[in-house]
Structure 1
Amino acid sequence: MSKFLKVVLTTALLATAGFASAQSTAYPGVGRPATVKEVAAWDIDVRPDFKGLPAGSGSVAQGQDLWEAKCAHCHGVFGESNEVFSPLVGGTTKDDIKTGNVANLKRSDFPGRTTMMKVATVSTLWDYINRAMPWTAPKSLKPDEVYAVTAYMLSLADVVPENYVLSDKNIAEVQKRMPNRHGMTTKHAMWPGKEFNGTPKPDTANVACMKDCIPETHVASMLPDYARNAHGNLADQNRFVGQQHGANTTMPENKSAAAGVTATPAFAKPAAKVADPALALLAKHNCTACHAQNTKVVGPSFSDIAKKHAGKADYLTSKIKAGGVGVWGPIPMPVQNAPDGDIKIMANWLAAGAAK
C-alpha cells in the first residue's frame, strides 16, 4: 500500500472514530450530548423555590434610574401606563399583602387586571424581566440590574419599602408579601401536587369510544354565478409565485376550459428595488419595535418624523443617541447604544424623507 493511501486511510479512521464518539448514546447516529457550557447558556430559568437564581442585589433607587431609562417608554414612570401594554402596577392593597389574595380579582366591575394583581411568585417577575426585558434589547440586563428593576416594581406596589435592597439572600422573604401569593392553584391535574396524593387524574386519560360516530362531513365552497365576477376576472389577477391561479370568472363555473378560454399570462415580475441600508439598521437595532413606516405604534411613524425634521440630520442623530421625552408625547424614548455610523445612516434616511 502506498504511503499516500496509508495517510488517507488513517485520517478516515480517525475522523470516523471522532464522529462516533460525538454521537448520542441514547439515539445512535443522531446529534451528540450537549456540553456543560451549552446547557449552562440555556439553563437560565428561575423556579418558584428560587433554584437557578444568580447571586446579586439591587436597590429600589438603582431600579428607578434603570426603569426611567429602559422601561418607562412602554410601562410609564410608575408602571401604570396603559398606552402600550396593560398596566403592571395597581389594583392591589396593603390588605392583599396580608392575606395573599387580591380582593379586586373577584370584582366584576374592576376596570382591569394588572401584573401585580395576577402574578403569584416573585420569581416569575425576576425571570421574565431577565429573559425578555427591555423589549428593544432582551437579555441585556445584568443580574444586579434585574434585582434593581424588580425591587423598584415591587416598591411601586408597596410590597417592599423605598429604601429596600433586593438580593438572592432576601427574595424568599419578599415572596411572603406578594399580594396574590395564594392565588395560584395546582388543582388542575397538570402536574402532581400534595393535594393529589401522588395519584393525579388529568383530563387526558379519556379514551375515544369509536362508536356511533357521525358520517364524515365533506366541506366545500363555491361562488354563485351572480358573484363570480364581482371583483373582476381572477384570471387577470394571477400571482407571480405559488400554486394558486385565478379562474376565469367571466364564464360560469366549469365552463371556462370547455370554451377554450385560457388565463391571461402574467407579466414579468419587475426587478426588485434595492432596499435602503437604513431599513436593515432600523430592524437590527429594534427601532421597529416602537416605530412603523406610516402609523404610530409606541412612538411616531418614520414618515411623521421625516416631515417634522426634514433636512435636520445632525439634530436627529443627537436625539437618537440621547433619547428623550416630550417631543412626541409622554412616553420616553430610551438611549440608543448603536454604533455612531449606524445612527448617522438612520438619521440621514429620516432627514431625507424616510423613503421605503
Structure 2
Amino acid sequence: MSSFLEPVLRRVHGVRRARAWLPLAAAMVLGGQALAQDRFPGVGRAATPKEVAAWDIDVRPDFKGLPPGSGSVDKGQDIWEAKCASCHGVFGESNSVFNPLIGGTSKQDIETGRVANLMRTDYPGRTTIMKVATVSTLWDYINRAMPWNEPKSLKPDEVYAVTAFLLNLADVVPQDFTLSDKNIAEVQKRMPNRNGMTTQHALWPGKELKGLGKPDTKAVACMKDCSVAGEKIAELPPFARDAHGNLRDQNRTVGPQRGADTSRPEGKLGDAARPVAVKGPAAPPAAGSSAEAAALLQKHSCTACHAQGSKLVGPSFADIAKKYAGKADYLAGKIRSGSTGVWGEIPMPPQTAPDADVKALAAWLAAGAKP
C-alpha cells in the first residue's frame, strides 16, 4: 500500500504529511472493500479478479477480448469432421439437425459486403454465413458454445482453425490460409454481409424491401388503471387436442424442450417427455443400476441426442437395447469409436468418456436400458 500511495502523497503534502496520511488512505481502501461486500449482505461474496477473467471471454467486433493464437484451414477440417460434422454436415450444409451454416453467398457478395440473396423474397432459406456480419461473432460463439455436447472444450488455436475452415467453405479465405489474431481484422473486410447490418428491425417485408416496412408492435405503456391478473376464459377442448397430429412429432428434435405430447390427455407425459436423468440419491447409485446410468447419461450429455422411448437426433435407448441385447462389448466399442449409417444419416462422433463410464453405459443398454 505504501509503495503505491507514498509517491502521490509526497508530491501533494511533502514527506512528513505523506507518512501521516498513509494509515488513513489504507483505511479508506479497506473500508471501500467492506462496503462492496455489504452491498448484498448474506448473499455470496465479491468475485475475485481471476474469477472475473475466467468469465470475461466474449470477443467484440473490434476484436477486444480475442486471445492470441492461430489455426489453419486444414487443421480446422480435421476438427470439423471429428466434432462438428455430426450436426452441421461435412461442408456445413446440413439441414438435418440445425439450419445450414454455409450457402447462399457469392464472390460478388464478398466484394460488396452485402448478400444479394437476402433481398430476395423467393430465396428458399437463409444460412448463417448469409446473415452474420462480423467474423468475431463466429469466433466467439464457437468458443463459448461448441461442440454442442462439449462446450468450451476447444482450445483457442482450435477455434481459429474451425473458424478458418468455415470461412474457406464460404470462399472468404483460400485453402492454404491460417487465421490468427494478427490477420483476423483483414478477414473481416471480406465477410459477405459485413455491410448488411441494419436497425430497421420490422417484420417482413421491412423498409429494405420495397419500402413497406412497419413496426413489429405499436403500443403505449400503461401507467394507470392497469389490469389485474386475468381469469382463464378459454381452453383447448379435449376433442381438439390431437386434431392436427401430435405436436411433439412436429417439433424440431433439438434442445431439451420437446413440446406437448398431444396424443395423450393433458398432464400425462409420453416417454419422450419424461426426463432420463433422476434426482441424485442420498448415497451414490449402485454400479450397473438405472440410477447410475441416468447419472452418467446426464454427465456425458447423452440425452442431448437420445431419449428413453422415442427417437430424437439419434435412436432411443430402448431401441438400442432391443437391437443389441446382451452385446455390451459391441456397444462399448461403438460408444468409443462413434457410428454412422446404422440409424440414419446423422453420425455419432466418438465419445471421450472414461472407460469405466463407457462400460457401465454399455452394460445398462445391453441389459435392456431400464429407466
TM-based fold match above 0.5:
yes
2:177 counterpart letter in structure 1: Y
Residue 145 (structure 1) aligned with residue 182 (structure 2): no
- Aligned counterpart in structure 2 of residue 171 of structure 1, from 180, 184, 190: 184
- For residue 155 of structure 1, the aligned residue among 168, 172, 185 is 168
Alignment RMSD, CA only? 3.1
Are residues 1:105 and 2:126 paired? Answer: no
1:4-153 map, 5 Å: 22-24=34-36, 27=39, 29=41, 32-153=45-166
**Any conservation in 1 of the 2:69–2:157 contact (CA below 8 Å)?**
yes
Q: Distance in 2 between matches of 1:292 and 1:70?
A: 21
Deviations 1:80-127 (A, max 9, x none): 000001000011111111111111111111111100011000000000
For 1:69 and 1:345, the matched residues in 2 are separated by 24
Q: 1:340 to 1:217 in 2, by over 3 A?
A: closer
Residue 313 of structure 2 corresponds to residue 301 of structure 1:
no
- Residue aligning to 1:315: 330
Q: CA shift at 1:222, angstroms?
A: 8.3
Q: Within 2, Cα distance between the matches of 1:348 and 1:322?
A: 17
Change (3 A) 1:115 1:217: closer
2:349 pairs, out of 325, 331, 334, with 334
Quick check: 1:23–1:32 contact (8 Å CA) kept in 2? no
Which one of 277, 280, 288 corresponds to residue 292 of structure 2? 277
Query: Which whole-Å CA distance do the structure 1 matches of 2:227 and 2:302 have between them?
Result: 54
Does 2:365 match 1:350? Answer: yes
Q: Deviations over 1:45-68 (max 9, x none)?
A: 000000000000000110001001
Q: TM-score, normalised by structure 2?
A: 0.68
Contact 2:290 2:370 in 1 (8 A): no
Partner Cα separation in structure 2 for residue 347 and residue 97 of structure 1? 49
Determine if contact 1:54/1:143 at 8 Å carries over to the other structure: yes
**2:71 alignment partner, SS class:** strand
Q: Do the aligned partners of residues 284 and 209 (structure 1) sit closer, same or farther apart at CA in structure 2, a change above 3 Å counting? A: closer
User: Which secondary structure state, in structure 2, belongs to the residue aligned with residue 276 of structure 1?
Assistant: helix
| Closer/same/farther in 2, CA of residues 23 and 153 from structure 1, 3 Å limit | same
Distance 1:304 1:218 in 2: 45
Q: 1:351 to 1:32 in 2, by over 3 A?
A: closer
Letter in 1 for 2:331: L
Using the TM superposition, give the Cα deviation of residue 275 of structure 1 relative to its aligned residue in structure 2, in angstroms: 4.2
CA spacing shift, 1:32–1:222, aligned 2, 3 Å: closer
**Given the superposition, is the C-alpha separation of residues 19 and 64 from structure 1 closer, same or farther in structure 2, using an over 3 Å criterion?**
same
**Any conservation in 2 of the 1:24–1:31 contact (CA below 8 Å)?**
no
Which sits farther off after the overlay, 306-315 or 326-335? 326-335
Pair 281,220 (structure 1): closer, same or farther in 2 beyond 3 Å = closer
The residue identity in structure 2 corresponding to 1:316 is: L
| Closer/same/farther in 2, CA of residues 120 and 278 from structure 1, 3 Å limit | same
User: Does the aligned pair in 1 maintain the 2:102–2:169 contact within 8 Å?
Assistant: yes
Q: Distance in 1 between matches of 2:38 and 2:335?
A: 52
State the Cα distance separating 1:344 from its structure 2 match: 0.5
Contact residue 113 and residue 196 of structure 2 kept, 8 A? yes
Instruction: For 2:132 and 2:186, locate their aligned partners in 1 and report how far apart those are by CA, in whole Å.
Output: 16
Larger radius of gyration: 1
Q: What SS is found at the alignment partner of 1:24?
A: helix
- Answer whether contact 2:308 2:317 (CA < 8 A) is retained: yes
* TM-score normalised according to structure 1 size: 0.71
Structure 2 gaps, min length 5? 1-29, 202-218, 240-266, 268-284
Using a 3 Å threshold, how does the CA distance of structure 1 residues 309 and 32 change in structure 2: closer, same or farther?
A: closer
Whether the aligned pair in 2 keeps the contact of 1:293 and 1:302 (CA below 8 Å) is: yes
Task: Give the aligned partner of residue 256 of structure 1.
Answer: none
